[in-house]
Amino acid sequence: MSRLSIGIVGLPNVGKSTLFQALTAVAVPAENYPFCTIDPNVGIVEVPDQRLHRLGDLAPRERRVPTVIEFLDIAGLVEGASRGEGLGNRFLSHVRDVDAIVHVVRFFEDPSVARADDQLEEEADPLRDREIVETELALADLETVEHALDKADRKARSGDRQAQALETVLRRVRGRLEVGQPARRESVDGQETRLLRSLSLLTMKPVLYVANLAEDQLAEEKRITGAFREMVRRDDPEAETIEIAARLEADLLELEPEERAEFLEGLDLAENGLARFIQAGYRLLGLHTFFTIGEEEVRAWTVRIGAKAPEAAGRVHTDFERGFIRAETIHFADFERMGSMREAREQGLVRSEGKDYVVQDGDILFFRAAG
């Protein structure tokens, strides 16, 4: 059973740990996940989803288990990381392991909090900060790609078809990296994705930029982040940007619930920024949710958008993926409308889906697998 994980990166002193602290304050206690290592840099966070509660009302079970995503606070990115400087190598290997990246960029101004680069002005310079980080990631990828190209090249010459295909796509990806673009800008088909997977290219991973604002910038957030958003749209159209005031979120979590509500009202902020961030991250990173109803629990699970039924089965249990036969499937909305599985079956709303079925957000799945 594997969780999907999101790594939080960015230059020093941009607010990564502050965001991470806010996330871990709403994190699931680690003892609920006995199989996971307790690491202070890892936070397991529930994805808020009303449908799970509705499902638990209609199909009462002992437990309702939300789906979780894992956030990692990955420190150590400095200019030169791709050359193995500072914590460079360790940093890069952590980034390789995550499924997606949250890139925190500093918008708040505070002379008492140093910027990463002493030569920089005191003013926040999010465009430049972003570029420093992206450049390091792209340089690291370029090295990986050159290395892989060498190997593929040799094999391709001896007539290895797979190596030939890999070589072709690597050349295209290299072309992107050489002009400073992330690898994810190169469109690749399913086979190419599989060929590239073992390289774990950093700039192939989906990215969500977090514009970390000071509390008093929130009222004008769209104006303040306008130029940044524009740059992202131009240079990296696959990526998304979300505004958040990390320190405010962290401070809010220290308040009692009533105090918090009052405070939010005063700020004219109805929404919980953190929940919005978790949900946006989840969605923008190409993840969605399916449900299972077992004997003891109703449960939400995460898969990538586009994943087929066996991959979803593999989230629940690796044996289910290997022995996958079919999945009895009904959509949450149909189930809710019918009110029970028996009614849904009688109405013919429970379908039998095979291994090519693309799982939809909100599907309830019952896996049949060969032991």
Point out which residues bind ligand GDP (CB under 6 A): 10, 12-18, 108, 110, 113, 212, 214, 245-247
Element (H, E) at 194: helix 190-197
d(CA 200, CA 194): 11
Nearer to ligand GDP, 103 or 174 (CB): 103
The DSSP string of 129-177 is: HHHHHHHHHHHHHHHHHHHHHHHHHHHHHTT-HHHHHHHHHHHHHHHHH
Closest CB 369 distance from ligand GDP, rounded Å: 43
- Reported in sequence order, the residue ranges of 107-184 that DSSP labels E, i.e. its strands, are none
Closest CB 108 distance from ligand GDP, rounded Å: 4
d(CA 289, CA 149): 37
Say if residue 85 is exposed, middle or buried (CB neighbours under 10 Å; 0-12, 13-18, 19+). Answer: middle
d(CA 180, CA 115): 24
Nearer to ligand GDP, 74 or 142 (CB): 74
d(CA 369, CA 12): 48
Nearer to ligand GDP, 14 or 199 (CB): 14
Closest CB 12 distance from ligand GDP, rounded Å: 4
Nearer to ligand GDP, 76 or 323 (CB): 76
Terminal alpha carbon distance of the chain:
17
Closest CB 40 distance from ligand GDP, rounded Å: 13
- Is residue 100 a contact partner of residue 117, using CB atoms and an 8 Å limit? no
Closest CB 14 distance from ligand GDP, rounded Å: 4
Query: Phi/psi at 353 (nearest 5 deg)?
Result: -115, 145
The residue among 207, 211, 22 whose CA lies nearest residue 124 is 211
Nearer to ligand GDP, 44 or 244 (CB): 244
Strand, helix or coil for residue 37: coil
Of how many residues is the chain composed? 371
Closest CB 75 distance from ligand GDP, rounded Å: 6
Closest CB 107 distance from ligand GDP, rounded Å: 8
Task: Please give the structure tokens belonging to residue 129.
Answer: 């900060």
Nearer to ligand GDP, 108 or 282 (CB): 108
Nearer to ligand GDP, 109 or 178 (CB): 109
Q: DSSP character for 362?
A: T
Closest CB 116 distance from ligand GDP, rounded Å: 9
Nearer to ligand GDP, 183 or 214 (CB): 214
